Amino acid sequence: MEAKAWLFAVVSFFHDLFTVIWMGGLLVTVMSYLPALKDALGNGPQTRKTILAFQKRQSVWVYISMGGLILTGLLMSKQNADFVHLFGFGNAFSTVLSIKHILVVIMIGLTLYRSLFVNRPREGMPPKNEKLSFQLLLINAGLAVAVLFTSGLVAALAKPFSG
């Protein structure tokens, strides 16, 4: 295998890894972690304390993954002859890729808004902020599924790698 193909494989691996960390972590949190935590501990202060500790630790990985996805995504896009430009809609491949990028930008915006404004560390988060935080989490989980679906479409439309 040529060096260019190896490099593309490594970049693709990291793109997938960052996707799993951020979007996979988001889906596991919504589908398993939070329901199990509430089943085990109820809705009391210990649950809130555990959720805040988890969010603090997970947010570091999410921010690293966001940056990694942007970098690896830019590197991967340039490998396909159908790639027009960032947010280009010149053909089916670029259109679907642009839709995926728009969804990711929305996810990044919601994540930053949720972590920097809604979940700001402080004593006793107001109930309305807890509700909004959870709603934003659910919206981002839905967007993550849409991003994964558009990724599948992009892969289906991609021309075979020409090392």
Note whether 8 and 161 are within 8 A (CB).
yes
Residue 119: band (very low, low, confident or very high) from pLDDT cuts 50, 70, 90:
confident
In whole angstroms, give the CA distance from residue 3 to residue 78. 16
If one compares 132 and 125, the residue with the highest pLDDT of the two is 132
Structurally, how many domains does the chain consist of? 1
Burial (CB count <10 Å: 0-12, 13-18, 19+), residue 40: exposed
The whole-number pLDDT of residue 123 equals 61
Residue 58's domain comprises 3-157
In whole angstroms, give the CA distance from residue 127 to residue 105. 28
Q: Would residue 163 count as lying in a domain?
A: no
Q: Is the pLDDT of residue 162 over 70?
A: no
Q: Would residue 114 count as lying in a domain?
A: yes
Q: Would residue 162 count as lying in a domain?
A: no
Q: Would residue 8 count as lying in a domain?
A: yes
pTM for the model stands at 0.89
Query: In sequence order, which residues have a C-beta less than 8 Å from that of residue 87 and are 6 or more positions away?
Result: 98, 101, 102
Helix (H) or strand (E) holding 69: helix 45-77
Work out the mean pLDDT of the chain and round it to a whole number: 90
In whole angstroms, give the CA distance from residue 1 to residue 109. 39
SS3 labels along 97-156: HHHHHHHHHHHHHHHHHHHHHHCCCCCCCCHHHHHHHHHHHHHHHHHHHHHHHHHHHHHH
Q: Would residue 70 count as lying in a domain?
A: yes
State the Cα angle at 78 between 75 and 83, rounded to 5°.
Answer: 135
Q: Would residue 7 count as lying in a domain?
A: yes
Q: Is the pLDDT of residue 24 over 90?
A: yes
The whole-number pLDDT of residue 100 equals 95
Q: Would residue 87 count as lying in a domain?
A: yes
